[in-house]
Structure 1
Amino acid sequence: MLARLGSLPVETRMPMLGNVAGKHRSPHRGSSVEFAEYRKYVAGDDTRRLDWKAYARSDRYYIKEFEADTNLRAYFVVDCSGSMAFSGKAEPKVQFARRIAASLSYLLVNQGDAAGLSVCTDKLHLEVPPSRRPAHLDRLFTTLGALEPSGETGLVPALHTIAEKIGQRALIVILSDLFTDTTQLAEALQHLRYRKHDVSVFHLMDPLEIGFDFDRPHRFVDMEDGTALVAEPTLIAEEYRSALHEFLKNVRETCHDANAGYRFVMTDMELEGLLRDFLMGRLRKRK
């Protein structure tokens, strides 16, 4: 799967900052091959960059500017709260999150970019700093494989912490079921947007959470705080689906308002197709 996806680059939707030459756009101008814009000549500019054709047309001196290339740092934020251990009709949500983070990390490092990991339960409790070294992947994979979901979600404070700690623009990939207050989530995503990060959200849900296909009384247990409720599913199904619809609508709108890429992911989806769509959707449209 990775060999087939390797022909697709992991690109950013906005200019990045880096300390080595790379393949991603920078907010600064440089001397790459991709033309960006003209600007008026000022004393001291390199005369080799003068556009003589523009001078012939306008009798004025113009400098050609090009987009500089830079490297990318990506941070995978994995929600490891108790609800991520749920598995109804598919693998646990945390396992699907592991596979997404591991696959994209491999593709990033393989193209010369850096990948890091941030894990949150009730707080941001584990971080693997980003690195471009291939040997770094072993540490990242080992950390992902050892994740054990537990406790309540601390996704929102973790995102605020990440927004403050990461100084340079980065790709932030959030992997979570987003079972948190959507108003507070909106504030956290706006914080990341203010810091000029490129944010992508993979919203992970189990098919059973969506379909609510129960045909007899059940004891439903909150996997984060342990509270329980005995209910007849047929009596609450309509209300449940209405609340779920409202929740999903609010999450989509929250991501849209924060300019965060949003992907709704069912854990029975085929991974390769999901990742291919993600990568294709990020390719820059060139004129």
Structure 2
Amino acid sequence: MHDFIDHNLLARLSALPLESRQAMIGSVAGKHRSPHRGSSVEFAEYRKYVPGDDTRRLDWKAFARSDRFYIKEFEADTNLRAYFVVDSSGSMNFASGETDTKIQYARRIAASLSYLLVKQGDAAGLSVCNDKIHLEIPPSRSASQLQHIFNSLGELEPKGETGLVEALHTVAEKIKQRALVVILSDLFCDPEELGDALQHLRYRKHDIAIFHLLDRQEIDFAFDRPHRFVDLEDNSTLVAEPNLIVDEYHAALNEYLTKVEAKAHDAQADYQRIVTDQDYEAILSDFLTNRLR
């Protein structure tokens, strides 16, 4: 049993579907909007009748108003493919106090959302990256897929430098059909390069969701004596007096966070900034609720 899976939490969240924010293209009937027209219950638009159309879909009220024949078109429903892109670079192994490490928090979110997707008949897959993509599990709707994803998440050992930007470009090129791409990372990369990768995903018509994971100590920078800081990605060190640099640190942090959020919004991504001492059930509940049509 993996400690990042809470079955009671999953039971509580199961009442909330995970919906795409845009039309999807799938291989089986499902509950998500498709760019193709069909005959589900949600009205899309009218179009003029042409010979061969199903006369049962004629709108007689429109005919009475205009003396012309119009066909009602509805949104076709389809299934959803989701790709979870998990950053396993060294910085994801950081935690202060008794909170989860960032990678543990990412495990909880990815595992929970994967479970909910497969339970509702959709497909979940996993890509893990540090300096490059080193694990890829193609999306599937099978029950055995969940165990594969859970086992892979449990075996993650964060190390090395981040290759998130390159991984996102790779994912954008590899996914041929539009999908939900869920990114779980501390986003320690250049905001301009990250923005380019997000735009690549947007250009390929993917629905992007970002969980930006940060530790409370990274936000507050609350130190009361000199410290030796170690970069968990390249192992470089820096000795500093926090009281002398705290204002400069917060200014740089705020500039970075503002740029990252702006790049996410420019790509129409669903951006969630999370501090790892927050209740992840509340985070997931808000995420699912905000996506309901």
**C-alpha displacement at 1:43, in angstroms?**
2.3
Aligned equivalent of 2:27: 19
**C-alpha displacement at 1:98, in angstroms?**
0.3
Q: Distance in 1 between matches of 2:280 and 2:186?
A: 17
Q: Distance in 1 between matches of 2:233 and 2:156?
A: 16
Aligned equivalent of 1:52: 60
Aligned partner of 1:189: which letter? L
1:234 to 220, 232, 243: 243
Aligned equivalent of 2:88: 80
Q: Distance in 1 between matches of 2:171 and 2:51?
A: 42
Aligned equivalent of 1:209: 218
Secondary structure, counterpart of 1:268 in structure 2:
coil
**CA offsets 1:174-227 (integer angstroms, 9 cap, x no match):** 000000000000000000000000000000000011011111111111111111
Q: Distance in 2 between matches of 1:250 and 1:34?
A: 38
Aligned equivalent of 2:193: 184
Q: Distance in 1 between matches of 2:55 and 2:273?
A: 51
Aligned equivalent of 2:254: 245
Secondary structure, counterpart of 2:134 in structure 1:
strand
Aligned equivalent of 2:42: 34
Secondary structure, counterpart of 1:135 in structure 2:
helix
Aligned equivalent of 2:171: 162
Runs of 4+ in 1 over 6 A off after TM superposition: none
Q: Distance in 2 between matches of 1:91 and 1:28?
A: 43
1:121 aligns with 2:130: yes
Aligned partner of 2:142: which letter? R
**C-alpha displacement at 1:134, in angstroms?**
1.3
Q: Distance in 2 between matches of 1:19 and 1:128?
A: 18
Q: Percent identity?
A: 70
Q: TM-score, normalised by structure 1?
A: 0.98
1:71 aligns with 2:79: yes
1:173 aligns with 2:182: yes
Report how many aligned residue pairs link the two structures. 284
Unaligned runs of 5+ in 1: none
1:139 aligns with 2:148: yes
Aligned partner of 2:227: which letter? H
More displaced stretch, 192-201 vs 32-41: 32-41
Q: Distance in 2 between matches of 1:40 and 1:246?
A: 53
Aligned equivalent of 2:159: 150
**C-alpha displacement at 1:44, in angstroms?**
2.2
Aligned equivalent of 2:6: none
Aligned partner of 1:52: which letter? W
Provide the alpha-carbon RMSD of the alignment.
Answer: 0.7
Q: Distance in 2 between matches of 1:253 and 1:136?
A: 35
Aligned equivalent of 2:285: 276
Aligned equivalent of 1:106: 115
Aligned equivalent of 2:266: 257
Secondary structure, counterpart of 2:143 in structure 1:
coil
Q: Distance in 1 between matches of 2:246 and 2:42?
A: 55
